[in-house]
Amino acid sequence: MQAGPEWDTGVTGIGAAGQARAMTDRQFPKWAELRPLLRPKPLELNPTDRRLAKALTIADLRRAALRRTPRSVFDYTDGAAESEISLARARRLFRDLEFRPQILQDVSRLDTTTTVLGRPSALPFSFAPTGFTRMMQHEGERAVVRVAERRGIPYALSTMGTTSIEDVAAAAPSARTWFQLYVWKDRGAGEELIQRAKDAGYEALVLTVDVPVAGARLRDTRNGFAIPPALTAKTVLDAATHPAWWMNLLTTEPLTFASLSSWDGTVAELIDTMFDASMTLADLDWVRSRWDGPLIVKGIQTVDDARQVVKAGTEAIVLSNHGGRQLDRAPVPLRLVPDVAEAVGDSAEVILDTGIMSGADIVAAVALGAHSTLVGRAYLYGLMAGGERGVERAVDILEAEIRRTMALLGAPTIADLGPQHVRLP
């Protein structure tokens, strides 16, 4: 049989009915039919907005930050101690845990609100204290605290911050601000910082206890990272590939510090010079005698230490290995959550820090027993990628992931999350 002129089936023995089904009527599309399909995206002229719109995850913001920031500064933020095993293990546990969704739950009205230190927080995370933030991007701590104010979450200013206690408070007068403190060899200087935070209206004091000496942050050593950046042949070459960063550093106000008038050296030298390696549990009494607000102790890595500091009188503890930046092969904080939550009960809030890179990570931590979490690198990647708008984008990403994960788990509120939703490997 010879096929018709319009088509060739390539199959012999096909009947008339089959031929009719194989035929497809075609026509030229009309403009009225094409127009609804041709919807080009509006052209975004602002390069920062265009860059941030492409970021769908915190990992995307990290890649944008790497392109925008000198390598030594990026590595200070991104890196950890020695072989970076502690950080890798923390992130691997988040990656390998298993969610267990509960089906047929009404999740039409999700509520991400929780309580942190007895007050409402719009999301179950706070911005962690981070050092030298204005080196990462010139808008620095002011940008971060303004985002915290708008989004209804707490922000902790680091002792090693690059904006003063008073200026951070003035930048966002209604924000929930915490001040992070190291115990100094010069107790008079530490007492002055506590008083300044109190006078500026800070809500809580975050006492960090896992830095008796500086961890070996090898990326910083190899990069020759110093505060402020030194103009070496390497940094001059780097300036050629990151002109905007250097221009912003050189044409905005000089770096100032939350707690120092100046410093010229490495971060490790600063830590070993200023901080008190003789600090013991008894020093909590000294801090308590000078601070009458909520006290958070950050850097707890065992159940026994959690019990001790809670017994000594703290409102909250932070399970943290300092983002992997101190002791390598340290305990993974997420794995400690169930045991610590059981050990301290209602005596103190349990906050998780280290390794968080997504809203799903935050949901997992809360489901296992944490009251809330701290995020540090996640918002710093946003800051480096796009300043204040980048920090806002980081919160957008984390919030969307929290909400989606809660809905898919069948948990309409933070209080509905529980250990039945997560299994650790």
Amino acid at 231: L
Question: Is 322 annotated in the active site?
Answer: yes
Residue among 269, 266, 260 nearest 229 (CA): 266
Token representation of residue 28: 């030229």
User: What span, in angstroms and rounded, lies between the C-alpha atoms of 357 and 397?
Assistant: 10
User: What span, in angstroms and rounded, lies between the C-alpha atoms of 230 and 233?
Assistant: 9
Would you say 182 and 275 are in contact if contact means Cβ atoms under 8 Å apart? yes
For residue 199, with 0-12 CB atoms within 10 Å meaning exposed, 13-18 middle and 19 or more buried, which class applies?
exposed
User: Could you write out the DSSP letters of every residue in 171-196?
Assistant: HSTTS-EEEEEPPBSSHHHHHHHHHH
H-run or E-run covering 253: none
User: What span, in angstroms and rounded, lies between the C-alpha atoms of 365 and 110?
Assistant: 18
User: What span, in angstroms and rounded, lies between the C-alpha atoms of 397 and 383?
Assistant: 14
Token representation of residue 193: 């910082």
What phi and psi, each to the nearest 5 degrees, are found at residue 245? -60, -50
Catalytically annotated residue among 242, 322, 371, 421 = 322
User: Could you write out the DSSP letters of every residue in 215-244?
Assistant: ---HHHHHHT--BSPP--HHHHHHHHH-HH
Residues with a known catalytic role: 322
